[in-house]
Amino acid sequence: MKSMRSRISFLIVALLLQACGAAQTPYLGTCGKTPNLELMSLTMYRDPLPEARKIDEWRAIIRSDSSAVCQTTLTVVDAETKKVISLETKIDLTLGANEVPLYSIDDYRLSGNQACFEVNAYINGQQAPLESPRPFCARTIEKGWWSMR
């Protein structure tokens, strides 16, 4: 009986310690050392897209230089306003190119003549730098149509 009580006590203490040690940030993700990350490609689906329609999905290709698996939280943001325009996506990044689908928030619509986008990455509760070889922008191509091509 005493052995059972001590096991239960140990389990309760272990669970409490685990709950206290959990990260208190909305951007979870774990990795030993923050890897060098590069946003190689960002596209929207459908492309071209009618002006009033929401973007269904973003498709990002992110290169990681880490041989370790890095749990990362990703978001797409409007480059000008820095407003988050996608749902948070948690993914395990591995060495090399990682193709990641990201889903747009319901109320975001393209407007103006051009809109540029960035991807934010969070690892271990901190924003991780995400280099990019070029800006990723959507432009009006015909009256009422947008494209990133």
Rg, Å, the chain Cα set: 20
Domain-wise residue ranges, the chain: 26-147
pLDDT in tens, 27-83: 445 676 788 999 999 999 999 999 889 999 999 999 999 888 999 999 999 999 999
Q: What are phi and psi of 89, to 5 degrees?
A: -125, 125
- CA–CA separation, 91 vs 4, rounded Å? 39
Give me the CATH code for the 26-147 domain, please.
Answer: 2.60.40
pTM comes to 0.77
| Distance of alpha carbon 63 from the chain centroid | 13
CB 26 within 8 A of CB 61: no
Quick one: pLDDT band at residue 9, thresholds 50, 70, 90? low
